Structure 1
């Protein structure tokens, strides 16, 4: 019989994790956030909510072109009706609106 080590405690939300982990916010981080969005688009799981909320939180640290890519990916998925279930559509459209407000200056960098 194989004994497995005890699982470490994982914080309940990405925001909690950010308070205790330091991640360099460089170009690579920004690209990883684009990858996270692309993975979650249309998934129909809890990952949609987590991804949307995490992206909102780290948006000021992303490269401008990657913010544009995330926005474009959401807009394309919306036009192709592949954002997921109704609750997912709501989350993605909220992120799209959040990006619009951020880019237009409607949201301060520290929000």
Structure 2
């Protein structure tokens, strides 16, 4: 009887601390990190090169994208039902504005058109 209790005690000592490491959340334990919704296809107006009006200035979509996590960006507004972001470490005046269109895919917008001087 004593060995059963001691084995049970050893079992509890070894397993109880580990229960805090197990996640029951689908997709793993992401904590309280922000995640932002997106569409897999960008709106046609972005693909056509139409600018975003942000803080009184026109920002034009560029051909490139950046791979950023949702934790690296800050939502700053909406334009035509599309959420706008800036890099969390960027300060005003912002260099780029972003829209999200995939997992860790952000289209960047700049104040000038591509190739404009």
TM-score (norm 1): 0.23
Larger Rg: 2
TM-score (norm 2): 0.22
Structure having the larger proportion of residues in helix: 1
Q: Which one scores higher on RCO, CA 8 angstroms, separation ≥ 6?
A: 1
Structure having the larger proportion of residues in strand: 2
